[in-house]
Structure 1
Amino acid sequence: MITSIRNLIVRLRNDERGLTAVEYAVLGGIIVGALGIIGAAFTTELGTAFGRLIP
């Protein structure tokens, strides 16, 4: 029983198939976060610009 659990742990530690999916998910999250921050800043600046045009 202990040997089979140890073998399972070794196999899981050496398995890197899911690692690429995790890397893409993290990268996607970073990109979405950056776009959200840029979008919020752009919205604020756009509102300020239109506020100056219309007194």
Structure 2
Amino acid sequence: MLRIIVSKFLTRVAREEDGITAVEYAVLGALIVAALSAVVGGFTTELTTAFTDIIKP
């Protein structure tokens, strides 16, 4: 009985595309976070250098 229920559940999950869409959104979100981290990291270094140059006598 449990085997039939699990089999039906897995068949239904395999047919649905919502799960695939959620995974795609998660991957897209991770890529956006990685890109923002890279940009902010580079910007922070340049900003620190600029302020250091201004403060130097």
Q: Does TM-score exceed 0.5, indicating one fold? A: yes
Q: CA deviation at 1:16?
A: 1.9
Q: Which runs of 5+ in 2 are unaligned?
A: 1-6
TM-score by length of 2: 0.71
Q: Which runs of 5+ in 1 are unaligned?
A: 1-5
Letter in 2 for 1:48: T
Structure possessing the higher relative contact order (Cα contacts under 8 Å, 6 or more residues apart): 2
Same amino acid, percent of matched pairs: 50
2:24 maps to 1:23: yes
1:11-49 alpha-carbon deviations (Å, 9 max, x no partner): 554432200000000000000000000110010000000
How many residues align? The count is 55
Please list every run of at least 4 consecutive aligned residues from structure 1 whose deviation after the TM superposition is greater than 3 angstroms: 6-15
